[in-house]
Amino acid sequence: MKKSSLVIGVASAALAMIAAVSGASAQSWTDNITVGGRMYLDVSSSSLEVNGAKSGAKNGFGFDVKRVYFQVDKKFNDIYSLQLQTDVSPVNQTSGSIAGQGLYVKKAYFKAAFSPAFEVSLGSNEMPWIPYAESIYGYRWLENTLLEQNNTGARSTFGTSADWGVHTAGKFGTYYAYQVSVINGKGYRDSSRSSGMDVETRLSAKFDQWNFAVGSYTGARGNEAYGAATIVTPASGTTPAVYKENKVDTHNAQRFNALAAYTGDRIRVGAEYFTATDWQTASIIDTTAGHTKADDSDGYSAFGSYRLTPMYTIFGRYDNVKPSKKLAPWNQGEYYNFGVQMSPMKGISLALIAKHDSFDAYAGSATVKGAKTTTEFNEIGIFTELRY
């Protein structure tokens, strides 16, 4: 009943938005269109080592194109609009599939902003938590925030910045804002559906330069599904066969987030925290008696920056993540960066930055600490963000 009500509500909202737009005054499709974009580029020297031995392509001196965003916005009137944003990221030649790599759609949505307190969008749009955390951190062009940072490639990530579904957001008065997204749960690179939808939320407050937020996530992350129906009773004469449905049993992944930060004109300092339960697919689809693959994770990040002059800013950050506190309680990841940013003109930012990311993984079991494998990533280089 709950899921039926959700489907009816989403369908009703979509029909209402379509009807409203169809009743709007006619205009040329080229009216009120804006185009923009961003590029994240760097030239750096990096190393990726496993127990001291170099491993993979992240070794040596080279040039990277981390991201290229291209965005088109179309405004129909003061209420209705749409946005298309494409993204370019490096193609991982060693992966089993290049789906969602290279050039792909990150955001594609139709939005109705009925009031400052309520807007709704259908399609792939920003999720409640990660884009908010990025806006407070201020240095996404240098590094992903806590939930997504994984330079070593050795640990799990715990969220995505956009997904396909229904997104609602708004502001209450001067201080408070919210967002609720009902989404497929597979991220923006996979628009396919499953048998259920997930929910991510955020409630935030801003008092002068002080920012506070809490958020949550619950759902099976796209793993809810039905297998092929099986025959219980074969057909006999004119009696049709009786089939039994096979729904995949799942456990909901859950995540809680919190953030507090001061974002002044010259000083920016803050901290982010998360805790998660059953986030990985193995825990979500676990069917063992007693849910033996249940797991917990948590992590925190502290960051800060200080503007020395209108052109120069120094910055730094430290992360600590324990991705598997029950199944592999000794595993731990640490990350830090520091550097200096230069902003010579509007739309151009440059930074000299040093990064270190390490992950210690232990063999053995939840109760026996075995041999340690350390994956370590180090990088120093010039990074740039170009906006237009």
**pLDDT tens across 111-164, in order?**
999 999 999 999 999 999 999 999 999 999 999 999 999 999 888 899 999 999
CATH number for the domain spanning 268: value is 2.40.160.10
CA distance 278 to 276: 7
Can you list the residues of the chain whose pLDDT is less than 70?
A: 1-27, 91-101
User: How does the average pLDDT of the chain come out, rounded?
Assistant: 91
In a domain, 234, yes or no: no
* C-alpha of 126 from chain center: 8
In a domain, 7, yes or no: yes
Looking at residue 368, its pLDDT comes to 85
In a domain, 54, yes or no: yes
The tokens of 6 are what? 């959700």
In a domain, 28, yes or no: no
- The contacts of residue 343 (CB under 8 Å, 6+ apart) are 310, 311, 313, 349, 350
Looking at residue 13, its pLDDT comes to 56
In a domain, 83, yes or no: yes
In a domain, 235, yes or no: no
Looking at residue 2, its pLDDT comes to 46
Q: How many domains does the chain have?
A: 1
CA distance 106 to 162: 7
In a domain, 230, yes or no: no
Q: Which domain holds residue 334?
A: 2-22+33-224+242-387
Q: Write down the H helix ranges in the chain.
A: 2-22, 130-137, 281-284
The tokens of 116 are what? 């400052």
Looking at residue 1, its pLDDT comes to 46
3-class state of residue 24 by DSSP: coil
Looking at residue 91, its pLDDT comes to 62
**pLDDT tens across 167-183, in order?**
999 999 999 999 999 99
In a domain, 237, yes or no: no
Looking at residue 89, its pLDDT comes to 78
CA distance 134 to 78: 27
